Amino acid sequence: MRSTVSVIKADIGSLAGHHVVHPDTMAAANRVLADAKRQGIILDYYITNVGDDLELIMSHTRGELDTKVHETAWSAFKEATKVSKELGLYAAGQDLLSDTFSGNLKGMGPGIAELEVEERPSEPIAIFMADKTEPGAFNFPLYKMFCDPFNTPGLVIDPTMNEGFKLEVLDVYEGQSVLLNSPEEIYYLLGLIGTMARYVIRRVYRKADNMIGSVTSIERLNLIAGKYVGKDDPVLIVRLQHGFPALGEALEAFSFPYLVPGWMRGSHYGPLMPVSQRDAKATRFDGPPRLIGLGFNLKNGKLTGPSDLFDDPAFDETRRVAAIMTDYMRRHGPFMPHRLEPTEMEYTTLPTIIEKLKDRFKKEDSVKAKPSVYASKDQGMD
């Protein structure tokens, strides 16, 4: 049976700052999804949040970019926004960039990851959802899961994984993508995906049979809207087991709290902290960036689960290291590399400061001028 899991998320406003979704807004979204399930548009669903992002997980047989499924998500976000506005929640409706729905949600603000598969007899999946960071934040764990045998021994031990994987890397600035082979081309791959702001691993395929292994949301709201309007907090769906990463291999990729861009005012590097759904709220310095993971089985288009994957003492040490890193990074205050490079900051105040000071800068003939590193995104400053 061919079925699709659609994970669609948006920040439609949150309680006491950008930190957590209010339960009443989730209840409003739930009414819409329950109705869509009654009508048979979707077969199953689960609603959750990470920080200020409302996450709709839906399963169905309508394929990717289906108008009815996307319209359902749009109505859910609209209804949730209504409640958000009634309660005076902060930044109500912030990620909904358009007033009218036309066909599908692409380019309209919500983040989307859709995995369409021919169901295996058992189809285990993990869904990872993060707040206060951006889609390129998943490059590091995807590389670990699908390309690094020190993380995923299955690449060596499981004959169905031996041939490796193909990774589709999207250049979000130029709107073009390239398919790279692992392990043969991992140095080229790493050359690109280390630049998290620009290159995003969108999909991974198993080389042996072209079966899809993962899908990442690729929306970058600041690029969609031309100016910063909201966060690009990403979601990732990973297919597990039997020739794909085992659940534990997928989770192992998050055991090191690596640094990601985002955090306070979308302008700082901070450690990605894997937490349970209970702790999925952004508090200290609006973070640190949080990640939740949910495990499901997909059968006949229905979802069994979830299991709250990071609700586990095995990740206590990761969280402790993340807390230490939080202290370490915070002590840099407004200095890079805690603060992001100017081209990637959510609040681009630097041009304003330079403008204000322009008459006070004196020419120094002894110093040869270099091209401005702040002038354009094309100068390798991503």
Binding site annotation covers 332?
no
Contacts of 180 (CB under 8 A, 6+ apart): 166, 167, 169, 188, 189, 192
Q: Cβ 158 to ligand F6R, closest distance in Å?
A: 39
Q: Which stretch binds ligand F6R (CB under 6 A): 57-65, 71-79, 263-271, 300-308?
A: 263-271
Of the candidates 9, 144, 166, 231, the residue annotated as catalytic is 231
**53 lies in the site for Mg ion, by CB under 5 A:** yes
Of the candidates 9, 11, 44, 166, the residue annotated as catalytic is 11
Written as one letter, the residue type at 71 is E
Q: Which of 79, 95, 233, 346 binds Mg ion (CB under 5 A)?
A: 233
Binders of ligand F6R among 266-285, rule CB under 6 A?
266
Tell me how long the chain is.
382
Q: Which of 9, 10, 13, 18 binds ligand F6R (CB under 6 A)?
A: 18
The separation between CA 382 and the C-alpha centre of its own chain, rounded to angstroms, equals 18
341/100 Cα distance (integer angstroms): 35
109/146 Cα distance (integer angstroms): 29
Q: Helix, strand, coil: what percent of the chain each, to 5?
A: 30, 25, 45
**132 lies in the site for ligand F6R, by CB under 6 A:** yes
Place of tokens 């306070």: 264
For residues 109 to 138, the per-residue mask of contacts with Mg ion, x marking binding by CB under 5 A and - elsewhere, is ----------------------x-------
For residues 2 to 21, the per-residue mask of contacts with Mg ion, x marking binding by CB under 5 A and - elsewhere, is ---------x----------
Q: Cβ 324 to ligand F6R, closest distance in Å?
A: 21
Q: Cβ 120 to Mg ion, closest distance in Å?
A: 33
Q: Are 291 and 254 in contact (CB under 8 A)?
A: yes
Binding site annotation covers 132?
yes
Q: Are 13 and 60 in contact (CB under 8 A)?
A: no
Nearest to 218 by CA among 313, 126, 311, 136: 136
Out of ligand F6R, Mg ion, none, what residue 43 binds, judged by CB under 5 to 8 A for its kind, is none
Binding site annotation covers 241?
yes
Q: E-strand spans in 101-216?
A: 111-118, 123-131, 165-171, 176-182, 199-206, 212-216
282/294 Cα distance (integer angstroms): 18
**264 lies in the site for ligand F6R, by CB under 6 A:** yes
Question: Which secondary-structure segment (H or E) carries 60?
Answer: strand 53-60
> Toward ligand F6R, which CB reaches closer, 155 or 221?
221
Place of tokens 């009654």: 38
Q: Residues in the site for ligand F6R, rule: CB under 6 A?
A: 17-18, 91, 132, 231, 264-266, 286
Q: Which residues bind Mg ion (CB under 5 A)?
A: 11, 51-53, 131, 231, 233
Annotated binding site for beta-D-fructose 1,6-bisphosphate: 18, 90, 103-104, 132, 241-242, 265, 286, 347
